[in-house]
Amino acid sequence: MTKHAVSCGTLVVDGDRRLLLCHVTGTAKWDIPKGMQDPGEDLLEAAMRELREETSLVFAPERFTELGRFDYRRDKQLHLYRVDVGDTLPALDHLVCTSYFPHHITGKPTPEMDGFRWATRLEVARLCWPRMAERLSSLDW
């Protein structure tokens, strides 16, 4: 049996059934807030931490609805949660990514995400990487 890495993520959905996407720094693509578990974290803790680090959003654990584990790549699966925010996030200009990587040329700490937007189901297909767009389009949100 092959061991798969598991990336934990959250679908943040507004009252118009749009999905919160984060712009991946240095690319033309957008993604959901997600990432790998830290040692000792359970799946929900990892999803909550990634959401906080990549967007600065914090919600109580009971706000998260578990969607389950999904195939993503040959070597990676997604374990996803959903948080419904209704009309409580009309603007996204206060969101901040506090997770950094060293810039490939300068080595300067660079935020993983550098922008935020709401996206409809149709927009997700254009904005996200094809594999992520396919996975997201198969889910009910």
* pLDDT tens figures, 96-125: 999 999 888 888 999 999 999 999 999 999
% of the chain surpassing 70 pLDDT: 98
pLDDT for residue 21 is more than 50: yes
Strands 76-86 and 5-14: parallel
Domains along the chain with CATH numbers: 5-137 (3.90.79.10)
**pLDDT for the residue 1:** 43
The model scores a pTM over 0.95: no
Which residues touch 56 (CB under 8 Å, ≥6 apart)?
94, 95, 96, 97, 98
Question: Average per-residue pLDDT in the chain?
Answer: 94
Query: pLDDT digits over 27-50, tens only?
Result: 999 999 999 999 899 999 999 999
